[in-house]
Chains A and B, each alone.
Chain A
Amino acid sequence: MYEHDVLVVGAGGAGLRAAIAAHEEGADVAMVTKLHPVRSHTGAAEGGINAALRDGDDWELHAYDTMKGSDYLGDAPAIETLATDSPEEVVQLEHWGMPFSREEDGRMSQRPFGGLSFPRTTYAGAETGHHLLHTLYEQVVKRGITVYDEWYVSRLAVTDHDRPEDRVCHGLVAIDIKSGEIEGFRARNGVVLATGGPGQVYDHTTNAVSCTGDGPAMAYRAGAPMEDMEFIQFHPTTLPSTGVLISEGVRGEGGVLYNALGERFMFERGYANNDGELASRDVVSRAELTEVNEGRGVNDEYVHLDMRHLGAERIVDRLENILHLAADFEGVDGLEEPMPVKPGQHYAMGGTETDEHGETCISGLYAVGECACASVHGANRLGGNALPELIVFGRRAGQHAAGRDLGEAKIGTGQVGEYEVGEVDTPVTPGEIGTPEDVVADGGESARTDGAGALVEAGPVLENAVETERERVAHLMGRDEGVQQAEIREMLQKSMTRNVNVFRNEEGLKQALRDIRTARELYRDVYVDDPSRTFNTDLIQTIEMRNLIDTAEAITLGALAREEFRGAHWRQEFQERDDENWLKHTLLSWNDGTPEVWYRPVHLEGREKTYEPKIRSY
């Protein structure tokens, strides 16, 4: 067994920042990550990182833009924290040597981005994420922080009190991918989940293959609810064949969208008369798909993004990486031809419910970055707002987990205070079916210390969790026939892409739930064909598959429940934003495998003012 004060799961931007902060607080911190840190998906971020740094801009404007962009489903305490802390954090990155693009006077460059009232997107070429990830990793190396890389975290070790709000997280269980060994990791102070997005729920995504939603799914089964999962961002400019992202920076620099008729449809068809291509992402994605659906798409599939008029010099200076991506992954020379683009899954606004310190309703369990919902993005994330979230909330969670007092959080977590129980009319009870994990998880009962009391001591909780995982893996590896995860994954991804995409309707959502149920049933028969303990990616993917199923179900149930149109969530039957009934977060609790839907009102009160919902037009 390994033991540290703070354990950070995941080493992308959020995890690295959390680890550095915990270390600076004096904690003995270790990172456990399924990929070596520099392989994390943060490296793929292109466009930039928002921070109000310049004259004419200030944190209040940033907060206001973010609130509006969120379609008033963001929580003001979290959004204001994001806006006030990001300048300091971005300058901190600069002081750590991050190679930002520079102005003539040597200061960091900023560019306009969709939905921003000031060009506050600070960038490093079109490869901001790569530089951010490497700069943070360098600081982790400098501090000598322990990194267990290529260790897959498969379970949290949480006490089994009845109410999630009474539970405590004592550590986790992880598999050493290289040797297949399963070990317990005890966290004396806390566990910070920073496992990134769940893009692999879809088959056309900008996300890496490793983005399987592990953190929120594990936390969900341990009792921490998932919040606002229906809000999935589809990015309007992804390459059609692979889903590789063409940064919003292209439109920020002046790139233009055309349909097959050569019309600049964002203006000519009236989708966003003021901001055109720079309207926020949900607006542009819907516009593109409408063009395609109405027969004005190129090859009935995509539209064109043209940046040729910017001139080779400017393109090479600011968007060089885009030229490489278009050439390498779509065979298009962006200097000579327009680039084909279509919407693709990009970002999950929802995730594990946390307060503005990154803490969940389970003591000692934190979540930050894309796997968490604090919630700063509400119904729609503005471009350039995810990277500051990683560092702002990464730092806070790291500090808090290491014992620093950040004051009382304004955002509540768990089923305490003001909440409302929800009901959804589902065609099937999607979650009730057992899986190998549940089957063996019952083995935990016998490990309880007494008949009535819950298992609360760190030692037994961890031992029990390790035992359960060993049994689960033995079960998966022990069979020699059944279904393989690749088959379930393909079915699930296709159904989600078909039914839970940019445009949604009741019939499609119900169909997706039926498919998810089928996936669950299939998963009961899942088996790992590779008998090896060495680097068994078949095993890892099979465990990830389980997380994809739970995540897909949360997304779809949330989407079915929310009978309105807000931000990225568009419903055919409900074409209006309904503030009277739906100015609230959707929460989903595990409830022994049958998802329980409940709601919490949005926090619109900021420090000095209350944000009044207004019509969102661009």
Chain B
Amino acid sequence: MSTQIQRTEEPEIETEDEPEAETESAGDRRRREKVDRETALRKEAEERLDESDDDVVIKVFRYDPEVEGKQEPRFDDFRVPMEKGTSVLDALMFARDHYDSSLTFRHSCRQAICGSDAFFINGRQKLGCKTQLSELETPIRIEPLPHQEVVKDLVVEMEHFYEQMHSVEPYFQTNDLPTGELEEQRQSRENREKVKMSTRCIWCAACMSSCNIAAGDEKYLGPAAINKAYRFAMDEREGEEMKDHRMRVLEQEHGVWRCQTQFSCTVVCPKEIPLTEHIQEVKREAVKRNLKFW
């Protein structure tokens, strides 16, 4: 396990009293300015470490199928500053920007809405941007989501997750649209309230990665896709006929009945969607509907 420190060698320090040569070429000037700036930047990074309440070491999973020396998975340690509010994502960005630019992870919004930075942090699926360093016990270990193929470092293959999401017809379907110009298809407040939580999914795949059943059964729809189907099945605007269709999708062989109510999806979901409850509700609804035929 290696400790990463600044990559560049100590630069030669330019002294103040060295008069700027009139004949300095543009290239020389650029190089000199670059050294100055690097020195300043490094000093700043060090000061930041000094100033911060504390600094901590994060242990980050590393793997690259292409680069020699990185094909064997390993953990790298990075020392990062920790202030009030520093998130795991901030720490990773600091490490990437200051120590090792090859450190790879997905991220974008920094505000828990794009769903791209779900990692396995100290043994649990969490969004990097929403997780404060100060909440975590040291040593802090950051790994890619389990049960998914690793592309590189913390980046995992998402195709399977997307396929499962797409398999439940994740789009509104109704035969009941009003015809008048600018006429809205009304929805009761209660009904919107009912589907509200289910509409918050950000496709982060944390739930899928936490689910033992999904890990063992490739075809299992998984909590996110079921929740997506629930979102439409319970939306009164789609109508009864469509609901039957939705229920058939949910009840398929690798659908809701595979769920063993382990609650891990509900525990990890960063949007606090009551996934297990939604799955159970679908099961109850299914039983109710099937009873009708008996």
Closest 5 pairs between A and B when the two form their complex, measured CB to CB: A97-B172, A106-B186, A530-B102, A138-B171, A486-B97
B30 touches A525 (CB 8 A): yes
A39 touches B171 (CB 8 A): no
A35 and B184 in contact (CB under 8 A), knowing A41-B109, A101-B192?
Answer: no
Interface hits, B135-160 → A, CB 8 Å = 151-153, 155, 158
Q: Shortest distance in angstroms between B108's beta carbon and chain A's nearest beta carbon?
A: 4
Surface stretch bound by B, among A1-9, A86-94, A358-366: A86-94
Q: Using Cβ atoms and an 8 Å threshold, which residues of chain B touch A243?
A: 110
A530 touches B101 (CB 8 A): yes
Surface stretch bound by B, among A260-268, A294-302, A324-332: A324-332
Q: How many residues of A contact B (CB 8 A)?
A: 75
Q: Residue A97 contacts which of B30, B96, B130, B237 (CB distance < 8 angstroms)? A: B237
A491 interface residue per 8 A CB criterion: yes
Surface stretch bound by A, among B32-40, B213-221, B274-282: B32-40
Q: Per-position contact with B for A324-347: 1 when CB-CB < 8 Å, else 0? A: 110011110000000000000000
Q: Using Cβ atoms and an 8 Å threshold, which residues of chain A touch B104?
A: 530, 535-537
A209 and B107 in contact (CB under 8 A), knowing A328-B130, A538-B101?
Answer: yes
Surface stretch bound by B, among A187-195, A271-279, A516-524, A553-561: A516-524
26 contacting pairs across A/B (C-beta < 8 A): A35-B114, A36-B162, A39-B106, A39-B116, A43-B109, A44-B113, A94-B184, A95-B177, A97-B235, A99-B195, A99-B235, A100-B192, A102-B187, A102-B192, A129-B113, A134-B199, A141-B166, A142-B169, A208-B110, A209-B108, A486-B96, A490-B97, A491-B37, A528-B101, A530-B102, A532-B70
Q: Residue A35 contacts which of B67, B108, B192 (CB distance < 8 angstroms)? A: B108
A484 interface residue per 8 A CB criterion: yes
Q: Per-position contact with A for B190-206: 1 when CB-CB < 8 Å, else 0? A: 00100110011011000
**Assembly CA distance A572 to B18 (angstroms):** 38
Interface hits, A519-573 → B, CB 8 Å = 521-522, 524-525, 528-538
**Assembly CA distance A108 to B70 (angstroms):** 53
Q: Using Cβ atoms and an 8 Å threshold, which residues of chain A touch B30?
A: 521-522, 524-525
B189 touches A44 (CB 8 A): no
A38 interface residue per 8 A CB criterion: yes
**Assembly CA distance A215 to B7 (angstroms):** 33
Q: Using Cβ atoms and an 8 Å threshold, which residues of chain A touch B105?
A: 537
Looking across the interface, which residue of chain B has its beta carbon closest to that of A91?
Answer: B182
B184 touches A483 (CB 8 A): no
Looking across the interface, which residue of chain A has its beta carbon closest to that of B107?
Answer: A209
Q: Shortest distance in angstroms between A35's beta carbon and chain B's nearest beta carbon?
A: 6
A139 interface residue per 8 A CB criterion: yes
A574 interface residue per 8 A CB criterion: no
B85 touches A535 (CB 8 A): no
B112 interface residue per 8 A CB criterion: yes
A53 interface residue per 8 A CB criterion: yes
Q: Using Cβ atoms and an 8 Å threshold, which residues of chain A touch B252?
A: none
Q: Residue B151 contacts which of A104, A178, A244 (CB distance < 8 angstroms)? A: A178
**Assembly CA distance A134 to B238 (angstroms):** 17
**Assembly CA distance A135 to B170 (angstroms):** 9
Looking across the interface, which residue of chain B has its beta carbon closest to that of A96?
Answer: B172
**Assembly CA distance A107 to B151 (angstroms):** 46
A43 touches B114 (CB 8 A): yes
A241 interface residue per 8 A CB criterion: yes
B25 interface residue per 8 A CB criterion: no
Q: Using Cβ atoms and an 8 Å threshold, which residues of chain A touch B232?
A: 97
Given contacts A87-B182, A208-B110, 15 further A-B contacts (CB under 8 A): A39-B114, A44-B113, A97-B232, A99-B187, A99-B196, A99-B235, A100-B192, A106-B187, A107-B184, A108-B184, A242-B111, A245-B111, A518-B33, A532-B67, A536-B102
A210 interface residue per 8 A CB criterion: yes
Interface hits, B7-47 → A, CB 8 Å = 7, 30, 33-34, 37-38, 41
B184 touches A99 (CB 8 A): no
Q: Residue A525 contacts which of B34, B102, B189, B200 (CB distance < 8 angstroms)? A: B34
B76 interface residue per 8 A CB criterion: no
Looking across the interface, which residue of chain B has its beta carbon closest to that of A518?
Answer: B33
A131 interface residue per 8 A CB criterion: yes
Q: Shortest distance in angstroms between A343's beta carbon and chain B's nearest beta carbon?
A: 17
B251 interface residue per 8 A CB criterion: no
B111 touches A534 (CB 8 A): no
B84 interface residue per 8 A CB criterion: yes
B185 touches A95 (CB 8 A): yes
A75 interface residue per 8 A CB criterion: no
**Assembly CA distance A534 to B102 (angstroms):** 11
B123 interface residue per 8 A CB criterion: no
A535 touches B151 (CB 8 A): yes
A483 touches B34 (CB 8 A): yes
Looking across the interface, which residue of chain B has its beta carbon closest to that of A180?
Answer: B66
Looking across the interface, which residue of chain B has its beta carbon closest to that of A105?
Answer: B186
B115 interface residue per 8 A CB criterion: yes
Q: Residue A208 contacts which of B34, B114, B152 (CB distance < 8 angstroms)? A: B114
A304 interface residue per 8 A CB criterion: no
